[in-house]
Amino acid sequence: MSATLDDLSLGRPSLSRAQLPSWALGVTAAGVLVLTGLLRLVTHMSSYVALAIIAVALYLVAQTVVSLSVEGWRHAKNRLMTSLMLAAMVLAVLPLVGVLGYTVAKGLKRFDSAFFTHSMRAVAESDPNGGAYHAIIGTLEQVGIAALISVPFGIMVAVYLVEYSAGRLGRVVSFFVDVMTGLPSIVAGLFILALWVLALHQGTSGFAGSLALVILMLPTIVRSCEEMLKLVPPSLREASYALGVAKWITVVRIVLPTALPGIVTGVMLAVARVMGETAPVLLTVFGNSAINTNPFNGPQASLPLFVFNEVGQSFDNAVNRAWTGALVLILIVLVLNLIARTVARFARVRG
């Protein structure tokens, strides 16, 4: 009887096991590199991308074989999966680093004081001077107004959905917020163009652009705030109610501060998303080569529009301006992010 049981059990392996020496993987990698080099000599393959892919594939196979022969199946699988995930991570980060690096390299050429102090008024596209002052002002004003409208609005909708709605209305609103999250930005632009600019005869202006951006920001803010408010433990609300604190004070003084860091992140994602929107801005703000500081009257410029216009020109000077414009756009998002995070951190420290 006991013999059969022993046969079925996993046995009693020794607690220690054979391990790959620390130099083994290095040697494997070196071998793979040599092999790839030989391959290049023999076949005269010139594509480095193809060679890199072959080298990685070879390494994965070689590592698995080496590990299998010394350490056994479980460790071979472990090493293979770890390497695959590492490769996936590198593959995902490469384009990101590439975009950033390329933009910085290209954008630094015109990253000078003239770029930040001059507009494109009376500047020919082929000229080496000119700047994006008008576009930076336009973007900051349009996105600023859009954020001023949609942040309080969005937070209030999220608070309603999480704290107050119990029935069908909440579910319906929630559903439409989800649908609107996927709204193509050009549709938001067309809607404002048709309603505000044309039907109501308001004309193109920075504010019209802000309205289009509000339509795009609102669902993102509502959704992320909703998730963050749901994460606040119900026990905190109960603790507050049990102290005889009214519901709205509980929401404002307990729930919202607890969820604040997450809400800030959500708002920043929404701001970053609309900061680079070009299509709706093109339809509603129209673009302007001169400085217009009034967002409520007449066409304005904006950074995405500026980049779009400049990159379409056939002059190197214009394309250089476009790269610097893109770099400034990235920097603005970065700086806003840092500011928001710092504010959120200081808002949390108490006592």
Partner 1 sequence: MAKRLDVKDLNLYYGKFHAVADVNLSVPPRSVTAFIGPSGCGKSTVLRSLNRMHEVTPGARVEGKVTLDGEDIYATAVDPVVVRRTIGMVFQRPNPFPTMSIRDNVVAGLRLSGVRDRKRMDEVAERALRSANLWEEVRDRLGKPGGGLSGGQQQRLCIARAIAVRPDVLLMDEPCSALDPISTLAIEDLIGELKKDYTIVIVTHNMQQAARVSDQTAFFNLKGAGLPGNLIEIDDTEKIFSNPGRKATEDYISGRFG
- Pick the closer one to partner 1 by CB: 134 or 237: 237
Q: Does residue 233 belong to the site contacting partner 1 (CB under 8 A)?
A: yes
- Pick the closer one to partner 1 by CB: 92 or 242: 242
- Pick the closer one to partner 1 by CB: 12 or 168: 168
Residues touching partner 1, count (CB under 8 A): 25
Q: How far is CA 268 from CA 11, 156, 256, 295, 344, in A?
A: 56, 17, 17, 22, 12
Q: Give the shortest CB-309-to-partner 1 separation in angstroms.
A: 47
Do residues 103 and 61 make contact, with C-beta atoms less than 8 angstroms apart?
Answer: no
Q: Which of 236, 290, 338, 343 binds partner 1 (CB under 8 A)?
A: 236
Q: Does residue 249 belong to the site contacting partner 1 (CB under 8 A)?
A: yes
Bridge partners of residue 300, in order along the sequence: 286
Q: How far is CA 81 from CA 61, 64, 76, 291, in A?
A: 12, 10, 9, 56
Q: Does residue 225 belong to the site contacting partner 1 (CB under 8 A)?
A: no
- Pick the closer one to partner 1 by CB: 150 or 250: 250
Which among 10-18, 201-209, 254-262, 287-295 is the span making contact with partner 1, rule CB under 8 A?
254-262
Q: Give the shortest CB-159-to-partner 1 separation in angstroms.
A: 16
Handedness of CA 331, 308, 131, 270 (dihedral sign): negative
Maximum Cα interatomic distance, the chain, rounded to a whole number of Å: 98
| Token output for 111 | 């990253």
Residue 199 to residue 186: CA distance in whole angstroms: 18
Q: Give the shortest CB-16-to-partner 1 separation in angstroms.
A: 39
- What CA dihedral angle connects 335, 338, 340 and 341, to 10 degrees? 170
Do residues 325 and 307 make contact, with C-beta atoms less than 8 angstroms apart?
Answer: yes
Residue 325 to residue 161: CA distance in whole angstroms: 39
- Pick the closer one to partner 1 by CB: 182 or 244: 244
Q: Give the shortest CB-135-to-partner 1 separation in angstroms.
A: 40
Q: Does residue 13 belong to the site contacting partner 1 (CB under 8 A)?
A: no
Question: Position 10: which residue type?
Answer: L
Q: Does residue 239 belong to the site contacting partner 1 (CB under 8 A)?
A: yes
Q: Give the shortest CB-157-to-partner 1 separation in angstroms.
A: 20
Q: Contact letters (x/-) for partner 1, 157-186, by CB under 8 A?
A: ---------x--------------------
Cβ-count burial 233-259 (b if 16+ within 10 Å, e if not): eeeebeebeeeeeeeeebbeebbbebb
Q: Give the shortest CB-220-to-partner 1 separation in angstroms.
A: 25
Q: Give the shortest CB-158-to-partner 1 separation in angstroms.
A: 18
Q: Which of 36, 139, 174, 240 binds partner 1 (CB under 8 A)?
A: 240
Q: Does residue 346 belong to the site contacting partner 1 (CB under 8 A)?
A: no
Residue 36 to residue 204: CA distance in whole angstroms: 59
Q: Give the shortest CB-339-to-partner 1 separation in angstroms.
A: 21
Q: Does residue 253 belong to the site contacting partner 1 (CB under 8 A)?
A: yes
Q: Give the shortest CB-266-to-partner 1 separation in angstroms.
A: 18
Do residues 304 and 115 make contact, with C-beta atoms less than 8 angstroms apart?
Answer: no
Residue 16 is classified by DSSP as: S
**CB-facing half-sphere around the CA of 28: CA atoms within 13 A:** 18
Binding positions for partner 1, rule: CB under 8 A: 166, 233, 235-247, 249-250, 253-254, 257-258, 260, 348, 350-351
